[in-house]
A and B are shown apart, each in its own frame.
Chain A
Amino acid sequence: MRTEAVPSTAYDDLPYTRGGDVDRADLGGLVQSAADGDAAAWKALVEGLSPLVWSVVRAHRLSDADAHEVYQTVWFRFAQHLGRIREPHKAGSWLASTARNECLKVLRNLRRLTPTDDPQLLDRVSEDRTPEQSVLDLEEAAAQSERVRRLWQEFDGLGERCRQLLRVLIASPPPSYQEVSAALGIAVGSIGPMRQRCLRRLRARLEAGEAI
């Protein structure tokens, strides 16, 4: 089945040291419990992995409507396959690659329905994102809000590859590199170096902005 297609397992035996290891440690157990009828385990899976699925969808810059539908499709299919997933401890990668496949289908369909290959149309920015407003709602100090807003703005202005990679990496809790690999179809071994470069680039943008 195509949604089971999880990328390279070359690094699976290496220790995973990113911050999410506590949350990810018992993924297999949670999947098993949920399959056995434990609704609380299912809820824990949703709480722990929802941000990853959302990040993958966001990384692909779908419209809000498409993003919502892909997110739902992924979770409905996961519920449907619960108990049949071959490697329950890799549920995060399963969700990430399923989300990626559905995102790519949406993008392919947009292209098919679009007579031109105008990249603008394939790169729609969601309509209702108003970071400024959300920040205003915060009770935090104005300076900190400004910092968050600027950070997000510079992040959003990064090249597409960097923006995409970082958007998945900053899911909370932090995804494993196996999950990132499944989310974006890139080799596990290239994620670290790319991450480093993209964060350097982001920092440079922030510093350039401050200098003005």
Chain B
Amino acid sequence: MSGTHDDGVFDDEVSFNDEVSFDDEVSFNDEVSFDDEGFDTALLEEELRQAAAILDAVPAPLRQLAVEAYTLHDLDARIAELTFDSLVDAMPVRGAAEVPRMLTFRAGEVTVDVEVSGQGLMGQVLPPQPARIEVLGGPQPGVPLSADELGRFAGDVPPSGPFALRLRTGAEVVVTEWLRA
């Protein structure tokens, strides 16, 4: 999508009466809502806002889920930030449809490598160490997994939708940044 923001606003059929360049004279905060034709843009925008509220509002169950997400607020856990995502950082493989998604999260010296595919999820905690892992899919309790002595773990249910891993290693709790699988 990176290219789409570079071309002009005029990306479709109608060529507008461009006699006036607005770039310099319209203040960006729209103190003046009437343009040179006496057209009240603020009014039309407000009308459109009301239409959106009627025809394309936030679905109520989604909003409720966001309210419930408050329980995901956990100051005691360290957040492992996403440092590599094959979706963003890797070259696409032409012709290979089923490429597993490779993710790397890091919190200080702890690194978590995760591979998500249609078959499930596997990964490794580094430096190698046993850990109790919970695969979270939302505010509700997640699916438990455990990492062996080498830090390796695997689960046969592929995460769908948003997911995060909560890892307990010794005394520490690390949670990976929420991502969409």
> Which residues of A does B touch, CB under 8 Å?
1-3, 11, 14-18, 34-35, 39, 42-43, 46-47, 50-51, 53-55, 58, 68-73, 75-84, 102, 104-109, 112-113, 115, 129, 131, 134-135, 138, 148, 151-152, 155, 158-162, 166-167, 169-172, 174, 177, 184-186, 188-204
Contact B70 A79 (CB under 8 A): yes
A-B interface contact total, Cβ < 8 Å? 213
Output the residue of B5, B14, B51 with the most chain A CB within 10 A: B51
Please report whether the interface of chain A is mostly helix, strand, loop or mixed according to DSSP: helix
Q: Shortest distance in angstroms between A68's beta carbon and chain B's nearest beta carbon?
A: 6
Contact A160 B4 (CB under 8 A): yes
Q: How far is the CA of A113 from the CA of B28 in the complex (A)?
A: 39
Q: How far is the CA of A209 from the CA of B73 in the complex (A)?
A: 50
Q: How far is the CA of A50 from the CA of B28 in the complex (A)?
A: 24
Contact pick for B57, options A51, A84, A105, A186, CB 8 Å: A51
Contact B92 A112 (CB under 8 A): yes
Contact A172 B52 (CB under 8 A): yes
Chain B residue at minimum C-beta to C-beta distance from A105: B87
B125 within 8 A of A: no
Contact pick for A18, options B30, B67, B161, B162, CB 8 Å: B30
Q: How far is the CA of A190 from the CA of B9 in the complex (A)?
A: 10
